[in-house]
Homo-oligomer: A and B are copies of this chain.
């Protein structure tokens, strides 16, 4: 292996931790190791086997993160034959906001005998959704007080984020709040474990904890208005020091060296978020290029040079993706999930049989059949709100809609209409960004979907009227973390001194590029106008039928149980 230098990236996901060993010079992904969390998502019963969780709850066991380090890093070294002295850096990314209360020494509160049966003491996973009432308080209080920060988050703080999760604990488990020395993002906690240093990263602070480079956190008065006990939450339970992305957080400790096989002193990058870290891994280190991380949902990222407020963004954070840029984040709450719902619930046996006969997946069969349908030919149009609408309406109480059924409507026509609907959703986000002054010339896609479905990518290109390039790596987040690991090491130790330089060498695109087909683009432009009319009619209060149906539904279910 000579003088080659390597960096390791670890992506801490929802169900597993994925580690990759990358050649720093070329970005070649030498080997990968995945650890499926032993306890996965804890959403029914605590590990004590008796404490039941309410619906909407989703916890994790921090032990799983440590085990990921312990299993995957030695595995990478063993499989590749790379020596630990040639591994110059380690970068990590995490789901977010995934947070936990810890003790003064950094140990999770849930490890203690006293708190191990208290759900609030465990890691609240990003999709822990029970803090909606607290998010409502946070939003209402902010609106009443005209807090400027709301505009940076599309007008709404999500129940998934940091302070709703803290407030929930304060209200329902004040002793946990009291006992917590700090609340910390998983992204920062794993770095703390690796290096012994608490270096809170700017990305989660900005996107999940309402922190801004100039404004800092919301004021103590604001927190006091939420709950008097929370007045000094920042001073008492967080840290005011926030570290920029691309920096070095510290070095592998002796303890971690023993656990992982990496050399003590190996550089570790400041923590990052799975979606955001993928941006340079998709080669994007400049403005006017949208990165789409496409999977069960889509996360949209754009860099800009100026602060702009676009409707319904998840957030705009200065330096939040790359230092020197405003990072704009938007999202669609269900994309791949909708197609999965459709294939599971709405496809008749003949199609399953045909797929089996042709040794193809059901998705591939539907894709093939749907490819033979022209845009507009089915007469169907859908609103892609199966899991609400994140951007640009920021409304969880919206639902899916399909219009245009006839007695000869075919499953592949519905399937295609659903793909088109999600593409219209992305186009709505692009248009909203551009109307606010954030340009998008090209799209860069990564994640699971682009590799699986060419039709989908072509439709996105036709609908948005933009070229779409595809990241070469099928694990853009882990690669992104490796890039940040190489930057943490720095040029002197064989890495890079800037993210741009690292990305230029380590990030690559596939050869294939999707280009809009002008004939399709024309029809989709007409159909998008129709989509927008329905979008506004059902989404902006003209006909709140979706909310009313939900209320009826909730009453019925409540009375039934």
Contact = CB atoms under 8 A, between A and B. Distances in A.
A4 interface: no
A399 interface: yes
Contacts of A557: 377
A407 B545 contact: no
Given A374-B560, A406-B386, A345 B411 contact: yes
Contact of A545 (B344, B402, B530): B530
Contacts of A386: 405-407, 409
Of A379, A386, A557, chain B has the most CB atoms within 10 Å of the CB of A379
B411 A403 contact: no
A375 interface: yes
A555 B348 CA distance: 29
Contacts of A404: 399-401, 546, 549
Given A348-B345, A560-B374, A546 B411 contact: no
A264 to B, nearest CB: 47
Give the interface size class of chain A.
Answer: 35 or more
Contacts of A546: 403-404
A550 interface: yes
12 contacts: A341-B408, A345-B410, A345-B411, A346-B346, A377-B560, A381-B549, A386-B407, A399-B403, A399-B406, A400-B409, A403-B549, A526-B552
Contacts of A526: 552
A538 B543 CA distance: 12
Contacts of A530: 545, 548-549
Contacts of A560: 374, 377
B407 A337 contact: yes
Contacts of A538: 403
Q: A-B pairs with the 9 shortest C-beta distances? A: A400-B405, A379-B553, A376-B552, A349-B349, A401-B403, A377-B556, A379-B549, A399-B404, A376-B556
Interface string A398-428: 0111111111111100000000000000000
Nearest to A343: B348
A488 interface: no
Interface in A509-552: 523, 526-527, 530, 533-534, 537-538, 543, 545-546, 548-550, 552
Given A349-B349, A399-B403, A407-B334, A552 B379 contact: yes
Interface string A375-389: 111111100011100
A409 B341 CA distance: 8
Given A401-B405, A534-B543, 18 more contacts: A334-B407, A341-B407, A341-B408, A345-B409, A376-B556, A379-B399, A379-B550, A381-B545, A385-B405, A386-B405, A387-B406, A387-B407, A399-B406, A400-B404, A401-B401, A403-B538, A523-B556, A530-B545
Interface string A26-64: 000000000000000000000000000000000000000
A374 B555 CA distance: 11
Nearest to A526: B552
A436 to B, nearest CB: 27
Given A352-B349, A379-B550, A545-B534, A402 B402 contact: yes
A552 B523 contact: yes
Nearest to A405: B400
A465 B399 CA distance: 29
A560 to B, nearest CB: 6
A307 interface: no
Contacts of A380: 549
A168 to B, nearest CB: 24
A190 interface: no
A144 to B, nearest CB: 31
A389 to B, nearest CB: 13
Contacts of A537: 537, 543
Contacts of A556: 374-377, 523
A347 interface: yes
A273 interface: no
B378 A553 contact: yes
Nearest to A557: B377
A321 interface: no
Contacts of A407: 334, 337-338, 341, 386-387
A65 B406 CA distance: 32
Contacts of A337: 407
A355 to B, nearest CB: 11
Nearest to A374: B556
Of A376, A380, A385, chain B has the most CB atoms within 10 Å of the CB of A376
A348 B527 CA distance: 30
Nearest to A542: B537
Contacts of A406: 386-387, 399-400
Interface string A348-363: 1100100000000000
Nearest to A353: B349
Contacts of A403: 399-401, 538, 545-546, 549
A140 B464 CA distance: 42
Nearest to A380: B549
